Chain A
Amino acid sequence: MKGDKAMPLKLYAEENKVVACLMGEIDHHGAGRLREEIDGMLERMRPDTLILDFREVTFMDSSGIGLVMGRYRLIRQWNGAVEIHNPAPSIKKVMRLAGLDRIASIHASPPAKGGSTEKTEAQV
């Protein structure tokens, strides 16, 4: 059961951003590995912004809230910011309950590539 599954995460850096596309179900079981991978990249790149893209996340409980809050605390050490992209309604409901919109901006469209300004702020 261990190590035989691909990491449900696509992680890349562009300009001063690190983009983490999360996938599948985020719970306590999977959050530890996600945290390690994302933190490794953040500490290497020290980006201005971490984009957490939830487009392919089908389930999230409060372990996902801890995941966002922990990364926020890390990136704040060098005054970086966290953006949350594309959470499904059920995931937005958990985020809203936790007040995540107070520490991270929440966006409805795909992460901007090459300076695109298509991003729009969504109601949370």
Chain B
Amino acid sequence: MKVCNEMKLSFPSRSANEAFARTAVSAFAAALDPTIEELADLKTAVSEAVTNAIVHAYQEQIGMVYIHAKILENSRIVIRIRDKGCGIADVKQAMEPLYTTCTTGERSGLGFAVMEAFMDKVKVRSQVGRGTTVTLEKTILSKGAE
């Protein structure tokens, strides 16, 4: 599939960058003329994936988070969010709604469920000790096409 546009971002896993990451991706996606709802879906899914990298992949450490976003010719946006953190031993279990490793009761365990509900496709590849890559895909039915 032909790539019409792409961008790459990398930033340290500080929580202040959660807002930066989702806002940057939503600015990039604006070229597809998404509806307000589609843009909110994208922002929310990106926020979940980036928060996972910050909270779970790197935990107490600061590491780099990498985003590579592409717009394909059929109005499809593909966003890859990658970290070099601790990795996930059991991806299937991590993706179960309400599953969380957090013991404070303040994390809902819904990050992947939100990504799956708001995007067309979510793919997770992970290797313990090497890191995790989450790929989010969505076709934007631009406002003009309604």
Contact = CB atoms under 8 A, between A and B. Distances in A.
Contacts of B47: 27, 59, 61
Nearest to B107: A66
B108 A98 contact: yes
B16 A61 contact: no
B55 A69 contact: no
Given A66-B106, A90-B44, A98-B110, A29 B16 contact: yes
A82 to B, nearest CB: 15
B106 A59 contact: no
A97 B48 CA distance: 14
Interface residues of A, number: 24
- In terms of DSSP, what is the predominant structure of the interface of chain B? helix
B19 A65 contact: no
Contacts of B90: none
A84 B111 CA distance: 21
Interface stretch (B35-43, B64-72, B130-138): B35-43
Interface of A: 1, 25, 27-29, 31, 35, 59-63, 65-67, 69-70, 73, 89-90, 93-94, 97-98
Given A61-B44, A62-B51, A90-B37, 6 more contacts: A27-B51, A28-B55, A29-B18, A62-B107, A67-B106, A93-B40
Interface of B: 15-16, 18-19, 22, 36-37, 40-41, 43-44, 47-48, 51, 54-55, 105-108, 110-111, 113-114, 117-118
The 7 A-B pairs with the shortest beta carbon distances in the complex, nearest first, are A90-B40, A29-B15, A65-B108, A61-B47, A62-B110, A66-B108, A28-B51
